[in-house]
Each structure stands twice: as structure tokens, then as C-alpha cells.
Structure 1
Amino acid sequence: MPLYLQDEPPEHFEDSGIIPVAAKYKSPAPIPSQRRRKEKSPRWLRRTRRAIKYIKWRTLLVVTITMLTVIIVAGLVLIADASNRVQSSLSSLQRVVESVRARQGTDLTMTDFNRLQASVTDLSTNLETARKQIAFVGLFASFNPEIEANLATINSAYHLSLAANEMLKGLQPTVFFLVSGDDNNSVVSGAASGSRIVELMQIGQGSVFSAKSYLAAAKDDVAKLDLTRLSASSILNVEGLIQYREQLVQVNDFLTVAPDLLTAVLGLSREQHYLILSQNNDELRPSGGYISTYGWLTVRNGRVTDYSYSPTTATSPNPPPPQMATQIKVPDWWISYGEPIYAAWDGSWYADFPSTADMSMWYYNNGNNPQSPVDGVISIDIVGFEYLLKALGSVTLPDYDLVVTPENFRQVVYDIRASGDGDLPHKRFLATLYQQIFAQWENSNVDPQIRQHLMGAVLQALQEKHIMLHFADSNLNDVTDLLGWSGAQSSSTNHDYLMTADANLGNKSNHSIARDLTYDVDIQADGTLKSRLTVGYDYSQRVAANDPAVDAKHNGPLDYDNLLQIFIPPGSIMGTTTNFPSEPRRVDTASYTNLIAEVTVPFDSSERFQLNYQTPPLIETIGSYHRYRLLVQKQPGTLADTASIQVILPANAKILNVSPSQSASYNLDRPVLEFGLNLKSDVWIEIVYEN
């Protein structure tokens, strides 16, 4: 075949009738690159490629998404199940805690401690199980901030429970010693040996330090969460954990330094000297009462080794040099003194007891009085002494041929004053009585039952601000603040706040006067509060007839002249007032707006003094949630004011959480919550709601 026909296609030959003949020459060699491509395509790959052509990608995508959804939903179910189990354990723990709180401190036993420890352990176990149960869900945490938050809060709660457990373990040797090894004994059975308590608390320090590492881990668990991506409920959970952690940190810090602090307070390393202020709360002052008598005591190795009591006079205790009076800045609205330096001793204008105690220490130390400089101040009022007397049963005063009991205490105290010899014999009698109470207290160590009753009386008086403590050492003051034993006035910034403080200007009638507070709060859309406060006084002749302190002949005029202070949030705007003789004077500080007015309640009458004001924005917003908080503080020395609080929420508000539980709730176009309080101590109210 001619060469020019060799490359012709077969169809050409068919059409031309020419029969092709095999070529004598080879076709050109394949292109090398084509040969390499065929060599790199093994049979299994070619089959795979052919199979891929028949895959339905849309179906595969749907199936994959469905599987992922099932896994995520299963994870959420596990989270919910884990949360339910944890919530059950937490509820059980809360029931135990409330049960323990309901008992007096001196009635607590090793059985109570074991129940508390078992509940914390159960909570830790369930939290650990929950962590393992939902660990795989962490693979999806980066895709869903709510899942991430759930995991973080469970981890944080787990570490907090471990911290609490470690702290309880650290306390176990001390508690075991206090109950003398008997589960049914109270915690004061072995409280006489202060040095042994310190030794046992030092033994438990290893667990206390372990708790510190768990608290740090709990902080890290939630520290990286972006709260702006979370729902309001998740934010509340995180904030709740942060608050719990802060409380546990405070307790842990206290346990860390407790051995050193107890060593100092109990005089285990050196003698400690304390000034005692006996405040007469029948004649109220803002931080307790008029200081009619005072004393000092020396403590060494946990025992009172020396003490003395004296009446207050112009020269007892010795005042500081007159030229030091310029160091005391007395407000121009306070009681006027011929010698201004005495204002530092009289009970002061402060509703904050630590400020009053600091001035008293300054007065006592700079007068070079016995045992000065003192290491701290112990304040006790008439009610506090009544509690101690009730625990002792009776006190015998040989010099007066009297047996003083809780039933005749007030009568004999004021009978001495009514004898006609002035108030100095009355003060001397009180000094003798109080000194004998301390003497019998010291001798009570031989009777465990009386010792237990005395400790119960002291704890009750501390909780109700009838005994207050203040120290020269600021570390000790941190502890008394934590325990609520300092009588300190709290700051009122970032939340609603209310405190009223009377100063009796003329008699000793406060035991017979019932004071009550009515506080109405209307929450506005912009977070401000329209507030109305009514301070009521009921001064009944029927009640006063049984009170030996109400005596116009010996104890001052019958009418109640009162210098009233009302503390509300700083920056509040005043509105109208009712029944005040003149507009209350206003004093602004960074912590409060203080309203001051002199008012009178005639004998056998009732009076109500009312004022209206609007606060700055005080509602905290968390996503779609809102939180209202109110702190109502008790004035030291008062018996137990009643307080009626009404909070009106915005329209359509949905209430999510209320603490403490409201007394009543109803809806009059807007939700309304009512609270009835008995102010034996400070009270917090918190309401969380959603618009």
C-alpha cells in the first residue's frame, strides 16, 4: 500500500473498493506521557473512580447530617439526664444545709457534720459520673456555646464540691475533738482547750490547701466562656457558680489563717487585752447604745486571767488630753458637747460599729487607761447580758443582798436608779452585776451544760448584733465581717439598700417602742426605682407601764425625741416627705445618701414618717433576664424591727427566682411581690425575672 494511504481511515477503503494490506512499517511509538498515565492508574483505582460516579452525594449528605444530629441530641439528652441527677444531689445537700442552719450553733453534733459531709460526697460522685457520661459531647462544644457552657459549669461545680469536701476533711479532727468523740455530743463539749483546737486545725491544713487548688480549677473552668454568646439562663448558672466559689474562697481563706488568728485572739502566744463597751440599748445610739459602763479583760491561753468593770463618768475612763479633740471631726448635726472629745466615747453618730469601736479605742488608749493599748473591742448591750444571765440561771450579788434572775433583771437595774441618789449608783450597780456575770461565766467551765448554754447565748447575741467584735488587727476584722459579727455597715452601691438608725436624745424608752418599716418599690423600665419608705413608731402606755426604764422622774421625759438617720442608695433624687417637722438634711457619700431628721413621738401615741425618692438605675440585666437585689440592714441594739417590703415588677414580667420566698404575690396589671421580715439580722432579697 502506498505510504500516503497507510493513515487513511477504514471507511475510506470501503468506499473506494481498495482492500487494505498490512503495513510494512510500524506505527509511530505512543507518546511517553500517555504510557506513564496508564501505568499510574491501577485497576483498583479505576474501579473506584467508576464506583464514585454512581454515588448519590445528596443522600449521603442527608444521612451524615442525620447521624450527627442524632449524636448531638443523644448528647443533649445525656446532659439533661446528668443535670437532673446532679440537681437531685444538690437538692439533698440543700435540705441538709437548711436543717443544720435551723439549729443553734451549740446544738450541732458530729452526726450533723457527718450528714453534711456525706451529702457533699454524694454531690461530688454524681458530678464526676455526669462528667464521664457527657465527656464525648465536648467534641461538639466549639460548635455550640450552650453545650460548652453546660460542660464548663458541670466541671466547675465538680471542682467546687471537691473543694468543699477537702475543707470538711480538714475540719474533721477539730469537730471530733469538740464533740469528745461522741456523735451525739454538741460541738462545745470540748471547747475549753483553745490550744488543742489550734493544734488540730493545723493538722487539717493539708486538706485546706488542697481545697485551694480545686477552687482555682473551678475558676479556670468558666473563665474562658464568652458570656455574650450564652443564653440568660446559662449566664445565671455561671454567675451563681462564681458567687458560690467566692463564698468558698472566703471560708477557705479563713480556715487557712484560723490557727494563727485563734492563737492571737485566745492569747496563746501572748496576753491579749480587750476593751468592753456596755451599751445601754434602752437609750439607742446609731451603732448600739449609750456607753453607760465599760470594762477590760485580759486573756491568756484561752482563759480570762483578769478583768475589771467601771461606770462611765467625765474622768472614767481617763479622757485623752484636750488638745487631741481636734482629731475628732464631729458632724454639725450630731449631739452638741461642752467638751467635744467626749463625742468619741458616747456611742458616736456612726451606724457602722467598727467606726465607733475605732474611736473608743482611740479615746481609751490615748487616755493611758489600764491595759492600754488594747487589742480589740467587745461590745455587749442589755439584751446580750440578758441572754448570758438566762444561760447562767441567776447571779448573786452579796454586796447588794440580791439574787438577779432573767425575770427581775431590768427591774433591779432601774430600781437602783430610782433610789434617788442619781445615776452614778446605778452605773456602779451595773458594773458590779456585769463583773459578777463574767466571774460566774469563768467558773462555769466545770459544768458542761452551763457552758453549752453560755456559748449558745453568745452566738445568738452575735448573730443579732447584741454582741459585736472589733480588733486592732485587720485580718481578724476580715473574719468577723465574714461571720457577720462585726456590726459593720455594708456599702449600698450597685443594689437597692435600706437602713434606719435612731439616736435617743432624752430618755430610756426604746425597749417600749416598736419601730416598723414599710418599703414600696416600683421598678421602672430604665432600671431606676421609684421608692417610698414609711418609718412607723408605736409608743404605747400599755407596754410602757411594765417597763421600769420609762420613768419621767428618774429616766428623762416621757416623749421620745429621736435623731433619725435613713440610709438609701447614693445619688437618689428626693421627692415629697410627710410628717417630718422639716425637710430631712441630706449628706451624700460614695456609699450612701444619708437623710437626717429630728422627730418626736409623744408618749402613748403612734407616728409615721414617710418619704419618696427615685434611685439611679439599680437593675442588673443579664440577656433577657433582670435581677433586683435589696439589702435591709438591722441597726445594732434594736430588738427586731418588722419590715413590710412590696416590689412591683414591670408589666408582663415573668418571675424566675425569688429569695427568700415571698409572703404573698398577686397581679394588678403588673406582678407584685410582698415580703414580711423580722429584722433580727441583716436580710437580702433577690428577684430574678424576664420581660
Structure 2
Amino acid sequence: MTSAATPEPAPRRKSRLRWWLLGALVVLVLLVVAALYLGYLGLKAKDSLDSARGHASSAQRAFLAGDTDKAVDEANAAVTDAASAKDDAHNPVWSAAAAIPWLGDPLQSVQEMTDSVDALASDVLAPTAELAGVINPDNLRAEDNTINTTALSEAQPQLAVIADRAEEIQADVTSTDGSWFGTVSDARTQLLDQLTESARFIRGTDTAAQLLPPMLGAGGERNYFFGFQTPAESRPTGGLLGAYGVVSAENGRVDVDDLGTNAEIDAPPNPVDLGEEYDYNYKYSRPYTDIRNSNISAHFPYAAQIWMSMWEQQSGTKLDGAVALDPIALSYLLDATGPVTLANGQKVSGDDVTELTLSTSYQQFANNNTARKAYLQEIAQKSVSALTSMRGNTSKVLEALGRSVHEQRLMVYSADEREQQLLADAGLAHDVAETAAPYANVVVGNLAGNKIDYYLERAITYSAGSCDSDTRTSTVEVKFTNTLTDLNLPPYVIGSLGNPQLQLPNGTNFSAVTLYGTQGATIDSATIDGESMLIAVGTERGHPFATGQIQIPPGETVTVTYQLTEPTSPGEPVVPVQPLVDDPEVKVDVPVCG
């Protein structure tokens, strides 16, 4: 007979339970301690990252100000703080926690950010600061009003290496996945913004070091056509060519030679040939021979080549490129160089040059067009002389030039293919870019021959559907407002004397409006205030375009709307803004597709 099993004594079970509870408590304590330690490391790393970013910004500002010692000190401080943040984020406890699936994502993101900030400080900021003394804007100026192109040339190879590294770091952060933890995700966004700014700044400096020496005549004299565009009478590149000059550059010294008005430029006996597509789109307006229509395309290199051809045949001087500027850009430059004084004693400053050249002068010289052009020509000549004689604070002049470039008010063309590609990459070319990215470029051209576009305001919206299929529907809407209220202005300003066959009430803005769309897109419809718009269609540099006419009575707004079917193209949307007098509101709601 088998006896029953003897039950385990109760004290032994209690002992095991105590050990389990004790073990669980120990684990819990360790987890709490680890969490507290991670929190400590996280706060410490965050403080170091914030400090590193602050020092990085200070180093860049000091670099621009030419303060070499401060730039180096701030860059070194950024290196120290970045290394400290990296050490904290790669602590063994942190690394173990970062390896936990999903929950460890924020910690892994912080590790990647500290790596990027450390690389930015060590590989970009520090070597850039060391170059501050070489390419200090003030040191680049010599007493004889020349630019030290030799220093730029010597610094360029190192700048190229730094720029490549900055863009590599930026690409690493861009490709890094975001985090479910909002604080970390926000920090990543801030870092990406700073990296983008730094990469753009260094690449821009590298581009300047490549372009300025040859374009300023380091290898021999260069000559350029210098055009002043008048956006009071709009053209697709900005405005009607008014005054002009010819600028020569040699060994870093820039001089203004010939100056004149558009009336002094003759039609060339052998016009330049810009190709079959250009002729098909524009030859009916005689752009090759009529200076008033020479910039009828939004692609500035076309206008530049026409201007160069006209002047070369008229003067016999070989030109190496062309530069265009408008009065708004001139105002930025005069803010930096200080006012100029005209022969009659009048001072013209950055505060009043735009209104003087685009509005007041047309009223002051309403019955004497020759005197008005001479007045504008003198303002242009004095302003360019102030710029080329290196007046004013160099950093402020560079800032003014940078703003003009950003707003596409300063355009440059070089006959040298390599230089022209660098100009295009830097955003100086004002070209109709041959890009497959989503694209919407709306330009207007005055058809009445008046100066009424001083009163034109625009609001532009570009929206498109999702990335779910090969094509998507997009909409481009432009609101044009004629803000003119004073109908007592001279007919030269608000009438249609430049196009006598028109029978329009004074104050009416009559313009051609053109949309350049995404490559491969179809422009399905165009309307004005909901009514069908008569359009002519074509293609330029791979972009479909549609051109129609609008009339805007004084004080009123018209809305032009385009519906398109466009390819679901990868890349950030490109929306150039025609440089007119206004600062248009631009809204872009176009998903970025991979």
C-alpha cells in the first residue's frame, strides 16, 4: 500500500516568495536608478547640445563680422560641448537602453544627433573659424579699392572640403528617422535647420571663392553689361531695361565705363540666335532687336545674351557676361554704402531710392522723358560707383548683396560654361531651371507701356494632391490687386501711351500673365474670376507654359486660376518669385514625394 506524498513545508514556500519579492524589488530599484541616471545623462546631454548650438551660431556671426579670435574661441567651445554631449549619449547605460526596440528610439535619436553635432563642430565649425582671418570681408578689401582675389583662391580648396562635409552631415540627419518622443523630434528639427543654414553658408562661401577671382579679372580683364531693370513696367525677368552700364574688372578692381539709357542701344545688324524653341515662343515680339522686349522670357540668360550681342555689335567690345539689378536691390546696397549726392545737391539714400526711381520721377518729369532718364542714369551711376569703390561696411554690403540674390533682384550671367553652372547652382542665374521637381513660376509683363506695376500686388498659392499615384491634380492661384487710387497721375504712368491702339480707361493694369508648370504636366484649364481665359500654350526648357491677358481696374483684384495634371515628381517644390515692387504672399501646399 502506497503512502500519500508529504507536502512541502510552508516555511520553505514563504522563503522562496520572499526571495522572489526581494529580487523583484532589487530589479525595480535598479530600473529606477537607471531611469534616474538616464534622466541625468539626458539633461546633461541636452544642456551640452544647446550650448554647442549656441556657440556654433556665435562662431558663424563672428566669422561674418571678421572677428577671427572670437570665431575660433566660439568654435572651440562648440567642439568641447559637442564632445561632452556625445560622451553622455554613448554611455554604456544609455546605449543599453537605446537598444530596446521602439522604446529606445528616442535615445538612439539623441545618439545620432550628438554624433552629428560633434561632426559639425569638429569638421565644419573649427576649420571654418581658422579661415576667418584669411577670408575676413574687411581683409579682402585693399586700400586701392580692389578685392584680394589671391586670398580667396588660396582658401577655396579647403572651403570645398568643409562644404562637402557640411552637406554630408546634413544628409545624414535628413535621412535619420524621426522619433515618437516629441521633444527629441523637435530637437532633430532644430538641428536640421542649423545644419541646413551652416551647409548653405559654407557652400556659398566656397562658390564665391570659385567665382569671384576669375570674374573679377584675376586671369585678365573682364567686361560685363550692367542692366538696371525697372519693375514699374514689368517684364518676366523683373522690369523694363532702363539705364545700363559697362563694367570692367581686372585684378580685383572694378570700374564703371560706359553709361546710358535704353534709347541709346541700337538694334544689332546680326542678332544672336537663341534657338528654334525661343524663336517659336517669342520672335513675334522682336526681342533680338527691340531692347524693350529683350527680356520677354523669364530665363535671364536669354536676356543677358541679347544685351551682350547688342552692345558688342554697337561698341566692338567683347563682353564676358551680364549683371542685372533693380531699384529695390539698389536700396539695400545704399543702406550699406550710405547715401549718394547728385550734381544738384540732392541726397539719395536707401530709404527713398525705390520711390524716387519708380514713382516720383515719373511725376516730376512727366513732360520731359529725356530729363527723367538722365536723372535716373545719374542715380544709377552714383550708386554703382559707391559700390565699386568699396564704400561702407563690407559685411553689410555682403548682406545687402545676399538679400538681393535671395529675392532674385540681382542676376548674373557668365559666358563661361563652368562659371554659369556655378551661378545657377548658387541661385544667381535667375534661370528657368531644367528641373523635374514640382514647379510653378508665374510672371507678368506690362502690355500698356506705362509704369502702373508700381501699384501691383500679388498673392500666389500652389497646391497639389498626394503622392499615391503616378500623376496628381494641382492648382496654381494668383490674386492680382491694382492698388492705384490717384487717377490724376500723368498718362505716362497710368495711361496706355506706350500702346496707342489700346482704348483702356486710365488706371487699368493691362498685362500678359504666364505660368510655367512642372515638366511633363498638362495645363487643363485657366480662368479669370471663374470665367474661361484665352491662353496660348508652349514649352520652354522642358516646362509647359500658358500665357493669357488680364485687365485690372484701379482698386480692384482679379484671380487667375490654373488647373493642371502633373507627374508625381520627387523633390521639394520650386516656386520662383518674379522680382517686382511688392513682396507677395506665397503659399505652397505640395506634398514632397520620395
Q: Could you tell me the TM-score, scaled by structure 1's length?
A: 0.63
Structure 1 residues 77-156: aligned runs within 5 Å: 77=39, 80-89=42-51, 92=54, 109-110=65-66, 120-135=75-90, 136=92, 137-138=94-95, 144=101, 146=105, 148-156=108-116
Partner deviation per Cα, 1:417-449 (whole Å, 9 max, x = no partner): 723xxx67765665565445545655x55xx55
Structure 1 residues 499-578: aligned runs within 5 Å: 499-517=441-459, 519=461, 521=463, 526=468, 531=475, 533-542=477-486, 545=489, 549-550=493-494, 558=506, 559-570=508-519, 571=521, 574=524, 577-578=527-528
Whether 1:161 and 2:121 are equivalent positions in the alignment is yes
Partner deviation per Cα, 1:157-206 (whole Å, 9 max, x = no partner): 2102223313432332146571x7xxxxxx989894412x643x467568
Partner deviation per Cα, 1:465-484 (whole Å, 9 max, x = no partner): 33322223355445545654
User: 2:406 & 2:168 partners in 1: Cα distance?
Assistant: 33
Structure 1 residues 26-425: aligned runs within 5 Å: 77=39, 80-89=42-51, 92=54, 109-110=65-66, 120-135=75-90, 136=92, 137-138=94-95, 144=101, 146=105, 148-174=108-134, 178=138, 192-195=145-148, 198-199=150-151, 201=152, 208=159, 211=162, 215=166, 218=169, 248=198, 251-256=201-206, 258-305=208-255, 307-313=257-263, 316-317=265-266, 319=268, 321=270, 325=273, 327=275, 329-330=277-278, 332=280, 334=282, 336-337=284-285, 339=286, 341-342=288-289, 346-362=293-309, 364-365=311-312, 367=313, 369-372=315-318, 374-385=319-330, 393-397=339-343, 405=348, 411-412=360-361, 418-419=367-368
Match in the other structure for 2:12: none
Q: Is contact 2:234–2:445 with CA below 8 Å preserved after alignment? A: yes
Provide the secondary structure at the position in 2 that maps to 1:487: coil
Displacement of 1:267 after TM fit? 1.9
Change beyond 3 A, Cα 1:547–1:77: farther
Unaligned runs of at least 5 residues, structure 2: 1-15
Displacement of 1:618 after TM fit? 6.3
Displacement of 1:248 after TM fit? 4.8
Pick from 454, 457, 472: which aligns with 2:415? 472
Match in the other structure for 2:13: none
Whether 1:640 and 2:588 are equivalent positions in the alignment is no
- What letter is aligned with 2:79? S
User: 1:512 & 1:326 partners in 2: Cα distance?
Assistant: 31
RMSD: 5.2
User: 2:75 & 2:276 partners in 1: Cα distance?
Assistant: 51
User: 1:202 & 1:326 partners in 2: Cα distance?
Assistant: 34
Percent of residue pairs identical:
14
User: 2:164 & 2:287 partners in 1: Cα distance?
Assistant: 53
Provide the secondary structure at the position in 2 that maps to 1:540: coil
Q: Is contact 2:217–2:249 with CA below 8 Å preserved after alignment? A: yes
Provide the secondary structure at the position in 2 that maps to 1:634: coil
User: 2:433 & 2:203 partners in 1: Cα distance?
Assistant: 20
Match in the other structure for 1:662: none
User: 1:468 & 1:456 partners in 2: Cα distance?
Assistant: 16
User: 1:189 & 1:351 partners in 2: Cα distance?
Assistant: 37
Change beyond 3 A, Cα 1:74–1:209: farther
Partner deviation per Cα, 1:547-597 (whole Å, 9 max, x = no partner): 973455679674332110134445366467343563434446786553321
User: 2:447 & 2:586 partners in 1: Cα distance?
Assistant: 27
Partner deviation per Cα, 1:237-296 (whole Å, 9 max, x = no partner): 889877866765555455456545332222233111111122222221101222234321
User: 1:455 & 1:355 partners in 2: Cα distance?
Assistant: 27
| Aligned residues between the structures | 555
Partner deviation per Cα, 1:359-383 (whole Å, 9 max, x = no partner): 4335545x374431x2221112344
User: 1:120 & 1:325 partners in 2: Cα distance?
Assistant: 52
User: 1:453 & 1:221 partners in 2: Cα distance?
Assistant: 33
Q: Is contact 2:228–2:243 with CA below 8 Å preserved after alignment? A: yes
Partner deviation per Cα, 1:86-114 (whole Å, 9 max, x = no partner): 4533664687699x69xxx9xx7456x77
Q: Is contact 2:448–2:498 with CA below 8 Å preserved after alignment? A: no
User: 2:419 & 2:144 partners in 1: Cα distance?
Assistant: 20
Structure 1 residues 660-679: aligned runs within 5 Å: none
- What letter is aligned with 2:411? M
User: 2:171 & 2:339 partners in 1: Cα distance?
Assistant: 54
Provide the secondary structure at the position in 1 that maps to 2:130: helix
Provide the secondary structure at the position in 1 that maps to 2:297: coil
Partner deviation per Cα, 1:53-93 (whole Å, 9 max, x = no partner): x9x99999989987996797577546633552245336646
Q: Is contact 1:308–1:435 with CA below 8 Å preserved after alignment? A: no
User: 1:119 & 1:163 partners in 2: Cα distance?
Assistant: 14
Q: Is contact 1:549–1:555 with CA below 8 Å preserved after alignment? A: no
Partner deviation per Cα, 1:453-500 (whole Å, 9 max, x = no partner): 8777655544443332222335544554565444345577555x5432
User: 1:453 & 1:213 partners in 2: Cα distance?
Assistant: 27
Q: Is contact 2:265–2:291 with CA below 8 Å preserved after alignment? A: no
For CA contacts below 8 A with separation 6 or more, give which structure has more relative contact order.
2
User: 1:384 & 1:438 partners in 2: Cα distance?
Assistant: 12
Change beyond 3 A, Cα 1:609–1:216: closer
Change beyond 3 A, Cα 1:380–1:205: closer
Displacement of 1:605 after TM fit? 4.3
Match in the other structure for 1:675: none
Change beyond 3 A, Cα 1:451–1:151: closer
Match in the other structure for 1:582: 533
Q: Is contact 1:318–1:369 with CA below 8 Å preserved after alignment? A: no
Unaligned runs of at least 5 residues, structure 1: 1-53, 181-186, 621-627, 648-684
Provide the secondary structure at the position in 1 that maps to 2:288: helix
- What letter is aligned with 1:381? D
